[in-house]
């Protein structure tokens, strides 16, 4: 028996070694050595052996990269070596000033410099003890960060075990989201009616600060290591030598790592990087120039915030001219019609752009944008295409002024624009374009939370005519799903299970899931708390709804209008018949904040803004967007701005996230 266990342990260890080698080849060297099928087969075998033999489980096994149990909060990490930022320069003149200061401080010594890519991401620390990855943390304020070890383990280019006997190693790197991963993430969020990330950096930041590492694992993050913070048992003379050592250990380092002495050569390298920028699969916002000699770095030292031996040359936002060929209309989940610019394709900031959002008719009018215009475009945050301005002097007289149509481009029903609103919308609940987005919203996380029901699946179910509305999800059968493209035995069973579990979400989640105009998750909860059942809501008068604190007249009117619609009534009846819970049970939450108004400002250490808001509201409080004399508390995080200043001037109590949580406890 023991002999059998030993052979199982040997197989597990061998599988782990093979899988990590494949990870290194694929994610670090960008040179896959096995097919996806072979890799998945090895991973399944390892997962099975670990499940059957839990005594051999290891937190650094490749199987653990999918994410673990969700955390309630991130623990603080004190950096023994400060994680400093870099001084920025924006021109050749400013760069030469930096180089002159370095040379002057070295009193005649001739320094050489390493020029690297400046990755546009989030700086993190990775710590290894005896070659094993023990802890990863954010930069924070440079002195204190947060423990995000579980999230970092999901990044497959981070080695979990090093082939070295070095007692302790701390490295610093930049986590980023590749451009293709970012675009796919935003496409998915748009279909689900969620807000879009402005750029890959914001997406990476949001992904790293997920308390649930399973979400981080889905975001396809990557990392480049750019410095050794601490090491015991080994010394280096130059920065380049230290990075080559890290590369030998399996770390992914900057693909550009060249050494120069002459200022002209340095600037030429920066220009070369700028010209190659759009060909990269990830975002950079400049180049970093560092003194190569570690001894000279010691002489140069640092200020309280930045090292004196390095500078970041920042690239300006790239702008290009192109022609506005047409303006196309997109129908959103709530019926809002969004105009999009159809452009003559142009290469900018790493990709070919042929479309850009124009937001609404007011934006088009204010900028006097006409079909046929020569326009200047750029990517907001280097990723979202937008029209900056029109070059009116290039007009020929053939340009056409755009006006919104009177009927919906998807269903032909009349369009409506409410007074004082920029949005033009289709009010037809049977509009096919709204249908897709409505079901995606219904299944989204804050609504009915049907795991596995993404945009592509919803679209496929609609195309195969297995569903027409959200209620039809509850009549889906395994026998139907197994014949749908994208489904296998397990995925079909999992979706049926997820749909079944969603029946018990309750009235507040259901009201939000219905996608009633102006009704967010907070409004849905307030209505559910007051009316207790869907029947009571459907029969409520506008006046009684608007009497609820925080529910205004427009919201009340929207609810009444929604439930008067015959299609809405049929949908509710179908949901009831399917056994979807249409009542609200009072939750066991406190009321310690009853009558208290809070304002949130800055970046909180652990809680997302929405999570903090939810916590306050669940305990009876109200969250406002502005500070006034009626504000009871301002919860302030890092980089709190004008709201904090106003709170101080008004004498409003200012508390931290920790104090907020202690008040609840």
State the CATH number of the domain containing residue 17: 1.10.287.610
Q: Which of 60-69, 355-364, 396-405 has the lowest mean pLDDT?
A: 60-69
Whether 657 and 537 share a structural domain: no
Considering the domain boundaries, does residue 142 fall inside one? yes
Q: What is the pLDDT of residues 165-198, one digit of tens each?
A: 889 999 999 999 998 898 888 887 777 656 677 6
Which of 410, 406, 363 has the alpha carbon at shortest distance from 387?
A: 363
Mean pLDDT over residues 381-396, rounded? 83
Mean pLDDT over residues 311-323, rounded? 87
Q: What is the pLDDT of residues 496-531, one digit of tens each?
A: 999 999 999 999 999 999 988 888 887 898 899 889
Q: Is the pLDDT of residue 365 over 60?
A: yes
Whether 564 and 620 share a structural domain: no
Considering the domain boundaries, does residue 81 fall inside one? no
Cα(first)–Cα(last) distance of the chain, in Å?
A: 51
| Phi/psi of residue 222, nearest 5 degrees | -140, 175
Whether 517 and 614 share a structural domain: no
Whether 474 and 397 share a structural domain: no
Considering the domain boundaries, does residue 422 fall inside one? no
Alpha carbon separation from 27 to 17, 155, 164, 221, 256 (Å, rounded): 15, 9, 20, 11, 17
Which pLDDT score is estimated for 601?
87
Q: Is the pLDDT of residue 234 over 70?
A: yes
DSSP string, 473-542: GGG--HHHHTTSTT--HHHHHHHHHHHHHGGGS-HHHHHHHTT-TT--HHHHHHHHHHH-BHHHHHH--H
- Where among 314, 345, 360 does a domain terminate? 314
Whether 98 and 59 share a structural domain: no
Q: What angle do CA 596, 597, 602 make, to 5 degrees?
A: 135
How far apart CA 561 and CA 654 sit, in angstroms, is 41
Q: What angle do CA 195, 635, 651 make, to 5 degrees?
A: 130
Q: Is the pLDDT of residue 349 over 70?
A: no
Considering the domain boundaries, does residue 590 fall inside one? no
Whether 116 and 210 share a structural domain: yes
Considering the domain boundaries, does residue 521 fall inside one? yes
Q: Is the pLDDT of residue 421 over 90?
A: no
Which pLDDT score is estimated for 32?
66
CATH of the domain at 632: 3.40.50.10190
Under the banding of pLDDT at 50, 70 and 90, the label for residue 29 is low
Rounded to two decimals, the pTM is 0.52
Which residues share a beta bridge with 635?
A: 600, 655
Considering the domain boundaries, does residue 425 fall inside one? no
Hey, what's the torsion of the CAs at 594, 600, 603, 606, to 10 degrees?
10
Which pLDDT score is estimated for 466?
93
Q: Is the pLDDT of residue 107 over 80?
A: yes
- Where among 295, 314, 333 does a domain terminate? 314
CATH of the domain at 379: 2.40.50.140
Q: Which of 21-35, 112-126, 271-285, 647-661 has the lowest mean pLDDT?
A: 21-35
Average pLDDT of every residue of the chain: 86
Structure tokens at 262: 């002459």
Which pLDDT score is estimated for 247?
93
Question: What is the count of structural domains for the chain?
Answer: 5
Considering the domain boundaries, does residue 589 fall inside one? no
Q: Is the pLDDT of residue 475 over 90?
A: yes
Whether 114 and 249 share a structural domain: yes
Q: Is the pLDDT of residue 71 over 80?
A: no
Alpha carbon separation from 612 to 73, 439, 446, 605, 664 (Å, rounded): 12, 28, 15, 11, 12
Q: Is the pLDDT of residue 588 over 50?
A: no
Structure tokens at 514: 């219905």
Whether 338 and 283 share a structural domain: no
Under the banding of pLDDT at 50, 70 and 90, the label for residue 560 is very high
Q: Which of 13-17, 189-193, 451-455, 632-636 has the lowest mean pLDDT?
A: 189-193
Q: Is the pLDDT of residue 454 over 90?
A: no
Which pLDDT score is estimated for 3?
58
Which of 446, 487, 439, 442 has the alpha carbon at shortest distance from 462?
A: 439
Q: What is the pLDDT of residues 634-646, one digit of tens each?
A: 998 877 777 887 8
How far apart CA 76 and CA 148 sit, in angstroms, is 10
Q: What is the span of the domain harbouring residue 276?
A: 87-314
Considering the domain boundaries, does residue 458 fall inside one? yes
Whether 291 and 236 share a structural domain: yes
Which of 137, 101, 113, 83 has the alpha carbon at shortest distance from 305?
A: 83
Q: Is the pLDDT of residue 266 over 70?
A: yes
Whether 509 and 557 share a structural domain: yes
DSSP state of 26: I
Q: Is the pLDDT of residue 549 over 80?
A: no
Which pLDDT score is estimated for 70?
55
Whether 437 and 532 share a structural domain: yes
Which pLDDT score is estimated for 198?
67
Which pLDDT score is estimated for 2?
58
Catalytic residues: 118
Which residues share a beta bridge with 284?
A: 119
Which residues share a beta bridge with 238?
A: 293
Whether 242 and 331 share a structural domain: no
Under the banding of pLDDT at 50, 70 and 90, the label for residue 336 is confident
């Amino acid at each position: 028996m023991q002999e059998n266990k030993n052979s199982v342990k040997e197989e597990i260890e061998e599988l782990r070694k093979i899988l990590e080698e494949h990870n290194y080849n694929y994610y670090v060297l960008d040179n896959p050595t096995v097919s996806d099928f072979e890799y998945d087969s090895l991973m399944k075998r390892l997962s099975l052996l670990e499940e059957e033999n839990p005594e051999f489980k290891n937190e650094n096994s490749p199987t653990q990269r999918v994410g673990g149990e969700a955390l309630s909060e991130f623990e603080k990490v004190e950096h023994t070596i400060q994680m400093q930022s870099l001084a920025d320069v924006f021109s050749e003149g400013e760069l030469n000033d930096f180089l002159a200061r370095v040379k002057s401080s070295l009193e005649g010594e001739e320094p050489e410099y390493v020029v690297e890519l400046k990755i546009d991401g989030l700086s993190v620390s990775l710590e290894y003890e005896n070659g094993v990855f023990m802890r990863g943390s954010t930069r924070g304020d440079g002195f204190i960060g947060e423990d995000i070890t579980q999230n970092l383990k999901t990044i497959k280019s981070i080695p979990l075990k090093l082939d070295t006997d070095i007692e302790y190693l701390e490295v610093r790197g930049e986590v980023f989201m590749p451009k293709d991963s970012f675009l796919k993430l935003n496409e998915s969020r748009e279909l689900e009616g969620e807000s879009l990330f402005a750029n890959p950096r914001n997406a990476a930041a949001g992904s790293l600060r997920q308390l649930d590492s399973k979400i981080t694992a889905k975001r396809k993050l990557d990392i480049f290591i750019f410095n050794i913070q601490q090491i015991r048992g080994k010394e280096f003379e130059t920065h380049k030598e230290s990075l080559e050592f890290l590369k030998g250990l399996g770390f992914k380092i900057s693909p550009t790592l060249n050494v120069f002495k002459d200022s002209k050569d340095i600037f030429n390298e920066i220009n070369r990087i700028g010209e190659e920028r759009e060909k990269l699969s990830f975002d950079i916002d400049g180049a970093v120039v560092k003194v190569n000699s570690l001894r000279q770095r010691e002489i140069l030292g640092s200020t309280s915030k930045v090292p004196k031996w390095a500078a970041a040359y920042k690239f300006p936002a790239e702008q290009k001219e192109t022609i506005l060929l047409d303006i196309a209309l997109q129908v959103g989940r709530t019926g809002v019609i969004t105009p999009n610019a159809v452009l003559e394709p142009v290469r900018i900031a790493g990709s070919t752009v042929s479309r850009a959002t124009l937001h609404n008719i007011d934006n088009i009018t204010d900028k006097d944008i006409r079909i046929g215009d020569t326009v200047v475009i750029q990517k907001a945050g280097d990723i979202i295409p937008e029209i900056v301005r029109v070059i009116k002097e290039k007009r020929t007289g053939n340009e056409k002024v755009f006006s919104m149509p009177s009927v919906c481009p998807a269903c032909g029903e009349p369009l409506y624009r409410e007074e004082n609103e920029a949005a033009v919308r289709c009010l037809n609940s049977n509009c096919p374009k709204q249908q897709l987005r409505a079901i995606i919203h219904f299944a989204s996380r804050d609504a009915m939370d049907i795991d596995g029901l993404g945009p592509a699946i919803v679209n496929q179910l609609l195309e195969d005519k297995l569903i027409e509305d959200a209620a039809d999800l509850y009549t889906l059968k395994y026998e139907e799903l197994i014949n749908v493209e994208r489904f296998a035995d397990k995925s079909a069973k999992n979706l049926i299970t997820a749909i079944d579990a969603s029946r018990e979400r309750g009235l507040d989640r259901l009201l939000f899931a219905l996608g009633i105009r102006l009704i967010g998750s907070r409004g849905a909860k307030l209505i559910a708390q007051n009316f207790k059942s869907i029947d009571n809501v459907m029969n409520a008068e506008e006046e009684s709804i608007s009497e609820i604190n925080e529910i205004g007249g427009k919201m009340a009117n929207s609810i009444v209008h929604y439930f008067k619609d015959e299609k809405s009534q049929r949908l509710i009846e179908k949901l009831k018949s399917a056994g979807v819970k249409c009542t609200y049970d009072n939750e066991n939450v406190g009321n310690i904040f009853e009558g208290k108004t809070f304002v949130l400002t800055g970046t909180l250490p652990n809680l997302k803004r929405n999570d903090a808001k939810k916590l306050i509201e669940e305990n009876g409080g109200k969250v406002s967007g502005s500070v006034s004399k009626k504000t009871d508390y301002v919860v302030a995080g890092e980089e709190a701005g004008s709201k904090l200043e106003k709170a101080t001037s008004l004498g409003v109590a200012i508390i931290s996230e920790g104090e907020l949580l202690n008040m609840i406890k």
